[in-house]
Amino acid sequence: MAIRFEVRRQNAGVVTNETFSMSSNLATLLREGTKKAHTMAENVGFVRCFLRGVVEKNSYRKLVANFYFVYSAMEEELERHKDHPVVSKIYFPELHRKHTLEQDLAYYYGANWRDQAAPSAAGKVYIDRIREVSNTQPELLVGHSYTRYLGDLSGGQILKGIAQRAMNLSDGEGTAFYEFQAIEDEKAFKAIYRESLDAIAVDEAMANQIVEEANDAFGLNMEMFKELEGNLVKAIGQMLFNTLTSRRRRGSTELATAE
């Protein structure tokens, strides 16, 4: 159980009582506090399509590009604050995804991917938020790290399988993002990450802010997915159109032959 204690602070004549705990239950607060956002993220059209194996390479590579810029920013800022009393607790370079995303971009865009890949409008908003938080309240980077890395550790292998089947990828093609080479057991690592969250000494107000930031991070992810829905709907429409017209063409040829 967490050991809680209260500190009376006097600042410029104002006395405040602040509650601290030796070990927070931040992991549970984050899980419970983002449940609704998680369900909402799972239900975005693009995500639902992905889970059903409807994945189109052009949309997917745009997502990979956005992830590349988002993770690059997040990992740069985590690195910058790696000695910060709060950020240091969840600083795990073995989780970092930037280099795996570079490999995937080289697969989807080719060797000159750096000339082609760019963050989308929603990607830019996400990146700006990471930079802002890092400059003003680095503790809130915990909410960003939690939202992405615990999600990645949870769904990795399943999502990799879906991507491979849907886009006909051979093993080792375009799915480096889902592989944590430096982590042997992802489930065990998740437990370590959660324990590290609990080892962060935060007061209630800060814990609430971190949960709020994690919810924002879910929202920023959803905006990136939603942007891709237009592409996907167009691609599905085109496929349907091709199927219908090729059938009609075949049908009319058959009719012509019969006559």
Residues that bind ligand HEM (CB under 6 A): 30-31, 38, 41-42, 47, 51, 146-147, 150-151, 154-155, 218, 221
For the bound state, the minimum distance from the C-beta of residue 27 to ligand HEM, rounded and expressed in Å, comes to 6
CA 179, 62, 111, 77 torsion: positive or negative?
Answer: negative
d(C-alpha 111, C-alpha 30), whole Å = 39
Name the strand (E) or helix (H) holding 258.
Answer: helix 204-258
Looking at the Cβ atoms of 105 and 142, the one nearer to ligand HEM is: 142
In the complex with ligand HEM, the residue whose CB is nearer, 55 or 113, is 55
Give the nearer residue to ligand HEM in terms of CB position, either 70 or 113.
70
Shortest distance, position 50 Cβ to ligand HEM, whole Å: 6
Query: Pick from 129, 93, 134, 90: which is nearest to 215 by CA?
Result: 129
Q: How far is the CB of 74 from ligand HEM (least distance, A)?
A: 12
DSSP string, 105-166: HHHHH-TTHHHH----HHHHHHHHHHHHHHHH-GGGHHHHHIIIIIHHHHHHHHHHHHHHHH
Assigned token pair, 152: 């990645």
* Nearest to ligand HEM of 154, 231 (CB atom): 154
Output the smallest distance, CB 9 to ligand HEM, in A.
31
Residue reference for tokens 């430096």? 182
What minimum distance in Å lies between the beta carbon of 206 and ligand HEM? Answer: 18
Token reading at 80: 């910058």
Nearer to ligand HEM, 39 or 116 (CB): 39
Structural contact between residues 163 and 104, judged by C-beta atoms closer than 8 angstroms: no
Q: Tell me the residue nearest to ligand HEM as measured from the CB.
A: 151
Could you give the CA distance from residue 126 to residue 52 in angstroms, rounded to a whole number?
26
Nearest distance from residue 184's CB to ligand HEM, in Å?
Answer: 17
Half-sphere exposure of 204 (CA within 13 A, CB side): 8
Rounded Cα–Cα distance for residues 66 and 152 (Å):
15
Nearer of residues 37 and 176 to ligand HEM, judged by Cβ? 37
